[in-house]
Amino acid sequence: MAVQEGEVILDVQNLQTWFLSGKHQETRLRAVDGLSYQVHKGEFVAVVGESGSGKSVSALSVMGLVPYPPGLIVGGKVLFHGKDLLQATDEEMQAIRGEKIAMVFQEPSTALNPVVTVGKQIAEALRIHNPGMSKKEAMAKAAGLLGEVGIPNPEVRARQYPFELSGGMQQRAMIAMAVSCGPELLVADEPTTALDVTVQAQVLDLLDRLRKKLGMAVVLITHNLGVVARYADSVKVVYGGKAVETGPTDAVFEEPCHPYTLGLLRAVPRLDLPRGYGLHPIVGEPPDMSKVPEESCAFAARCRYATDGCREGRPPMEEVGEGHYCACFHKGETLEERRALP
Amino acid sequence: MGKYVTKRLLLLIPTLFLVCLMVFVLMRMVPGSAVEMVVYNFKQNGQVITEAEARARLGLDKPAVEQFFVWIWGMLHGDLGDCLFRGDTVWHVISSELPVSLELAIMSFIISTAASIPLGLFCAAHPDTAADVAIRTLSVIFASVPVFWIGTMVLVYPAVWWGYSVPLTFVPITKGFVANMKMFLVPSLVAALTTCGNNIRFVRTCTLEVMRQDYVRTAWAKGAKERRVMFSHAFRNALIPVVTMFGGSVAGMIGGNVVIENMFNIPGIGQQVVTALSNRDYPLAQGCTVVFAIFVMLVNLIVDITYKWCDPRVTLE
């Protein structure tokens, strides 16, 4: 896949979201710590990282939905068509949410209101952004949307409550709600984590089909590299709240320059290698972001190439290929290791 | 649904029988008896009556078991017996005074609900802001100050400051609606204030508990405005405990507004029960208690049916 040519619709610059705790809010957990990335029109972007890497918080930051307290966006910019969403008023954000930027959450069973019918919840999204629409019209449209996301008997299902639907159907309904107003950007926060493996592929296919049909961009937050390889145009690998490697999917998979990216790739079980090859986990645990010094590489503690330079200075993002950026002092060694692997 | 209601109504019968039995036994276990009261009353009027004569007059000379079944048999025929001291039937006393208490209970319930839900939701939407702290502080004050103190203040100070005195002449609602409302407004407000304090805090707590739920975040992500998020999503899911609590407060109001009824000269049933108990007027006290029991059970039934409406996942069986 080539480097995206289209217009940049979302430009996240040096985003910093902290969680403050303690009596005088002296404990600062830097969940998102200087994250930057761009999303082009109609692009399928994957944000990859392990649990606690700040990928979900970064998505909530874009939506302006970080729960405060304790979460607080302390710096950076989230430019949507050049307008900084972090400076937008509540009313402006309410007009953007659902209409221009929509979101699909991880657990469909808890993300849908349990005491309102599925159809009504979709109709509500429609009527919030189309005040002139009648209830009846919205309900009819909601049923149509349920049909479009592949739910059989949409008219019947629309009148049912979330607990009467299976997990896969709930997530489809969630997606129908998110795309109901034809957003330009859909943020999907691990939409398949709570689902069966067989249903996962269906849901992702649905997202991809809707993306092409509606021309919207999708930001998929995931830790599943298999999913990334199959669907994403570009990948942002996130570690310790910042992007450590970004670029077109092929480039990042073929020529990873960051030891963390390489670690993730090696941790994927492979069927094409001999049985004894085994799994190669990344040693150690995700860092406690309230303890990592600000001026250091967050991955240094777990990195086999780490030197004093890594612990004393934060490596800058540097271009390593066309549209392929990496923040590491040891790109060469990493790339060599990759090339030596089967 | 219809089946469920029928079943619950049928279940009322054995429960009521037990209530009757307990009331009957407990009344007779209270020290002092109606006999002494009758003898005393006669003495006051300069007449002399022996205890045995008084006992016979009250129908207390028969064995207790027989008395009990005579009472139950009468009730099954719609006869709750005669008051011992008022020269009136128990049914007449209850039927004329229960509606008055009901009116007070319903009015104060409406006022209390109309005030506590919006205020509780406001506090939940803006937790720990100055307004929230102020409302909560006032709630605690109103919930803890005794009702007779508030009643006294309301009766005294408007008269002192503005020369306004609360109307204390009782007008039945059938005789004059406006005059009746004027009379009931202030006591309803006083009764509402005390329940309101607890209810505001309860609505706030229940709503705050669901505020961090995923579906509330989904509502924000849809672009919903605060009022819609709070009401249609957060509060809608906090309804079950709130309905339970409000139902309980209504059930308590029917016989529990004695002090207010007394202060504001409202001839309600609460006052009647207190008099009946202190006079050992067995038939009246028993009759009132049974009526209260029926009322509480009906309120509970309504609350249970409301659950189904609050949460479709609830099954009634």
For residue A127, the chain B residues in CB contact (below 8 A) are: none
Secondary structure percentages of chain B, helix, strand, coil, to 5: 80, 0, 20
**Chain pair A-B, CB pairs under 8 angstroms:** 75
CA A338 to chain centre: 26
Two tokens, residue A214: 């509606």
Domains present along chain B, CATH in parentheses:
24-90 (no CATH), 97-310 (1.10.3720.10)
Residues 216-275 of B with CB under 8 A from A: 217-226, 228, 232-233, 236-237
For residue A85, the chain B residues in CB contact (below 8 A) are: none
Q: How confident is the model at residue A142 (pLDDT cuts 50, 70, 90)?
A: very high
For residue B222, the chain A residues in CB contact (below 8 A) are: 97-98, 124-125, 128, 177
Does the distance separating the beta carbons of B212 and A112 come in below 8 Å? no
Rounded-to-10 torsion of CA B165, B170, B174, B175: -80
Would you say residue A48 has pLDDT above 50?
A: yes
Average pLDDT over residues B144-158: 89
Does the distance separating the beta carbons of B221 and A112 come in below 8 Å? no
Percent of chain A with pLDDT over 90: 21
pLDDT, position B248: 83
For residue B237, the chain A residues in CB contact (below 8 A) are: 113-115
pLDDT, position A102: 92
Q: Which residue has the higher pLDDT, A224 or B157?
A: B157
Q: How confident is the model at residue A3 (pLDDT cuts 50, 70, 90)?
A: very low
Looking at CA atoms only, how far is residue A96 from chain B in angstroms?
A: 7
Q: What are the two backbone dihedrals, phi and then psi, of residue A8, each rounded to the nearest 5 degrees?
A: -80, 120
Would you say residue B14 has pLDDT above 70?
A: yes
Would you say residue B271 has pLDDT above 70?
A: yes
Nearest CB partner across the interface for B214, out of A99, A107, A124: A107
Would you say residue A294 has pLDDT above 70?
A: yes
User: Quick check: B77 contacting A, CB < 8 Å?
Assistant: no
Residue B221: closest C-alpha in chain A: A97
pLDDT digits (tens, 9 = 90+) for A24-46: 777 778 888 888 888 988 899 99
Residue B212: closest C-alpha in chain A: A67
- Residue type at A318 in one-letter notation: E
pLDDT, position B122: 92
Looking at CA atoms only, how far is residue B217 from chain A in angstroms?
A: 7
Nearest CB partner across the interface for B220, out of A65, A95, A114: A65
pLDDT digits (tens, 9 = 90+) for B125-144: 888 899 999 999 999 998 89
pLDDT digits (tens, 9 = 90+) for A222-255: 888 888 888 889 999 988 888 889 999 988 888 8
User: How many CA atoms does the CB half-sphere of A192 hold within 13 Å?
Assistant: 21
For residue A128, the chain B residues in CB contact (below 8 A) are: 222-225, 228
Average pLDDT over residues B268-288: 84
Nearest CB partner across the interface for A111, out of B218, B223, B225: B218
pLDDT, position A228: 84
Nearest CB partner across the interface for B220, out of A95, A97, A113: A97
For residue A92, the chain B residues in CB contact (below 8 A) are: none
Of the candidates B166, B144, B143, the residue with the CA atom closest to the CA atom of residue B154: B166
For residue A67, the chain B residues in CB contact (below 8 A) are: 212
Average pLDDT over residues B222-250: 88
Q: What is the residue whose two structure tokens read 């972001």? A: A289
Mutate to test the interface with B, among A115, A180, A181, A189 (most CBs of B within 10 A): A115
Does the distance separating the beta carbons of B223 and A116 come in below 8 Å? no
Spatial contact of B57 and B35, defined as CB atoms under 8 Å apart = no
Spatial contact of B169 and B180, defined as CB atoms under 8 Å apart = no
Please give the span between the terminal C-alpha atoms of chain B, in angstroms, as a whole number: 8
Would you say residue A110 has pLDDT above 50?
A: yes
pLDDT, position A1: 44
For residue A116, the chain B residues in CB contact (below 8 A) are: 232-233, 236
pLDDT digits (tens, 9 = 90+) for A179-210: 998 899 999 998 888 788 888 888 889 989 99
Average pLDDT over residues A138-142: 92
Does the distance separating the beta carbons of B214 and A105 come in below 8 Å? yes
How high is the mean pLDDT of chain A? 85
Q: What is the residue whose two structure tokens read 């503690």? A: A301
Residue spans per domain, chain A: 41-60+90-100+185-340, 110-182
Query: What is the Cα–Cα distance from B146 to B317, expressed in whole angstroms?
Result: 41
How high is the mean pLDDT of chain B? 86
Q: What are the two backbone dihedrals, phi and then psi, of residue A230, each rounded to the nearest 5 degrees?
A: -80, -35
pLDDT, position A4: 52
Does the distance separating the beta carbons of A163 and B232 come in below 8 Å? no
Please tell us whether the domain made up of A41-60+90-100+185-340 is placed in CATH 3.90.170.10: no
